[in-house]
Structure 1
């Protein structure tokens, strides 16, 4: 994927639209209770980037971005 640092809320919103589920923001404390063991992963600000891969391997992404891929609905 060529994009970096997609906020968790944007991913959840795109998934919620396809699953016809409401999506709402919750606070950090509530997230800990809601997500249980998964909470540390949902609360961590850990943007990922493919910049080094692109630079070192001369790779240029040609596929849809994560959000575009989710929005196309192939997974639903």
Structure 2
């Protein structure tokens, strides 16, 4: 017995129309300030690259519980 492939429209027929009729959520971020100006809101949305780098190292340490003590030390240093 030979099966015919389903068309992509068949998959959309099973999804409720309510999913497609909703408006997509939208996030509006403020424009970054110039490097010589600072504000709390700007640093919240646009962290310094050293913070982002530290979070990536913490993520690598926590992967499968590889080095949890080091991740904790790095996390505590970010909180200071």
Shorter-normalised TM range: under 0.3
Structure scoring higher RCO (CA < 8 A, sep ≥ 6) equals 1
TM-score with structure 1 setting the length: 0.27
TM-score with structure 2 setting the length: 0.26
Q: Which structure: larger Rg?
A: 2
